[in-house]
Amino acid sequence: MNVFGIGLPEMALIFVVALLIFGPKKLPEVGRSLGKAIRSFQQASSEFQSEFQKEAVQLKEAVKTTAELETKQIEAAKLEQDTASSSQKS
């Protein structure tokens, strides 16, 4: 079992030190507080990730739209050049 890069022996040592510092009566309360903090961090992280993905999709769409517009502008410029050169030859 490996949580946050901490193995089972390290977790046991942390638990024993916390038990010595906080005592058996306060330890469940400290554990609940720590669990709530971790849960809120995970929620904030997932919200950030979803916002980042939304922005990435919007950016991708903007790039796609810009590329399509540029292609149309290039085609229009070529058409104008062809029209101008054919009118000059006549």
CB count within 10 Å of CB 79 equals: 10
**pLDDT of 1:** 55
**pLDDT of 2:** 63
Say yes or no to pLDDT of 87 above 80. no
Q: How far apart are CA 80 and CA 31, in angstroms?
A: 73
Token pair 């290039």 in the structure block, residue: 74
Half-sphere exposure of 46 (CA within 13 A, CB side): 5
Instruction: Give tens-digit pLDDT for 31-48.
Output: 898 889 989 999 999 999
- Rg for the chain, CA atoms, rounded: 31
Say yes or no to pLDDT of 81 above 70. yes
Across 52-73, average pLDDT: 90
- Cβ burial of 27 (10 Å; 0-12, 13-18, 19+) is middle
